Structure 1
Amino acid sequence: MPVDELDTRILRLLLEQPRTSVREYARLLGIARGTLQARLDRLERDGVITGSAPALSPAALGHPVLAFVHIEVTQGHLDEVGDALAAVPEIVEAFSITGGGDLLARVVARDNAHLEDVVQKLISMPGVVRTRTEVALRERVAHRMLPLVESIGRAVRT
């Protein structure tokens, strides 16, 4: 089910004030707590809201190096390599992709030497043919969802 204007208002509030109580969200939105809870339940059930964990900084956790590793996989071994990537704690995300490579992993490391160790671990995995690593120099746009939610809200109103 697509989101409506109230849903976008709820999502915006969740993004802007993530540590507020449901009661306070309902007050700010001018709706009943039960209405809000039903909307939140539906948004979770529909997969719009996927979690409520705090956002953590790898850099603050001692892993300031960020790299994107393209991984080429032997044909027919994508699932096995994907499963093996989950066992590497420095991989914070991984995706099957099109283009130059089969998988793209977002990797964090303590320093460049540690990054090299992680990449060597990836290269040694059965089914991995080769890797190509790109090191991020500076974050230009932080992970965000609010502009998308606002855009959807504008589209719903028109």
Structure 2
Amino acid sequence: MAVVDALDARILRMLLEQPRTSVREYARQLGVARGTLQARLDRLEREGVITGSGPYLSPAALGHPVLAFVHIEVTQGHLDEVGDALAAVPEIIEAFSITGAGDLLTRVVARDNAHLEDVVQRLIRLPGVVRTRTEIALRRRVAYRVLPLVEAVGRAAAAEAGQPRRRV
């Protein structure tokens, strides 16, 4: 588990709020040396805290406005094969092994409901798939975010270090 201190949390907040800013400008705003900032960024990447830096793309803007969550039940012993097969379906933008009802949870995008049905039928035909259950998302209520988590981690790190409370 990566250890994130208050400065790391401030760095992460800046990356989230100002993703196109240069390392030099981040260092200036944070009041730290550029080398210190770069070393911190390198460590956060190495430890898996920072997992990417590319653009976030909208499937809806790419012509796939329908979002669904498809639960997939798999024949015992075939989870890896089905998981590998899911990677070949371009409309699946994420897939997770899960506990509870079902074995896999996928996030699927589609052009419309008919296209979604075609994708689900493709999934059902995969060797090892027993059944699926589909739930269509109506409206996003909370967008993907990690900033509140970063802020909480930063507050906890500052409190643990006995530092004065300051906005992370």
With the length of structure 2 as denominator, give the TM-score of the two structures. 0.93
Partner of 1:28: 29
Runs of 4 or more consecutive aligned structure 1 residues displaced over 2 Å after TM superposition: none
Amino acid at match of 2:30: L
Partner of 1:7: 8
Q: Deviations 1:5-36 (Å, cap 9, x if unpaired)? A: 00000000000000111111111111111000
Q: How does 1:33-112 map to 2 (within 5 A)?
A: 33-112=34-113
1:16 lines up with 2:5 in the alignment: no
How far apart, CA to CA, are the structure 1 residues paired with 2:29 and 2:113?
47
Over the matched positions of the two proteins, sequence identity in percent amounts to 84
SS of equivalent residue, structure 1 residue 40:
helix
Amino acid at match of 1:38: A
How far apart, CA to CA, are the structure 2 residues paired with 1:149 and 1:113?
40
Shift of residue 71, structure 1, vs aligned partner: 0.1
Amino acid at match of 1:135: I
Partner of 2:136: 135
Shift of residue 74, structure 1, vs aligned partner: 0.3
How many residue pairs match? The answer is: 158
Shift of residue 66, structure 1, vs aligned partner: 0.2
Q: Deviations 1:84-133 (Å, cap 9, x if unpaired)? A: 00000000000000001000000000000000000000000000000000
Shift of residue 56, structure 1, vs aligned partner: 0.6
Structure 1: give runs of 5+ residues left out of the alignment: none
How far apart, CA to CA, are the structure 1 residues paired with 2:136 and 2:62?
18
Partner of 2:166: none
Shift of residue 157, structure 1, vs aligned partner: 1.4
Amino acid at match of 1:98: T
How far apart, CA to CA, are the structure 2 residues paired with 1:124 and 1:147?
41
Q: Deviations 1:44-76 (Å, cap 9, x if unpaired)? A: 000000000101111111100000000000000
How far apart, CA to CA, are the structure 2 residues paired with 1:118 and 1:15?
33
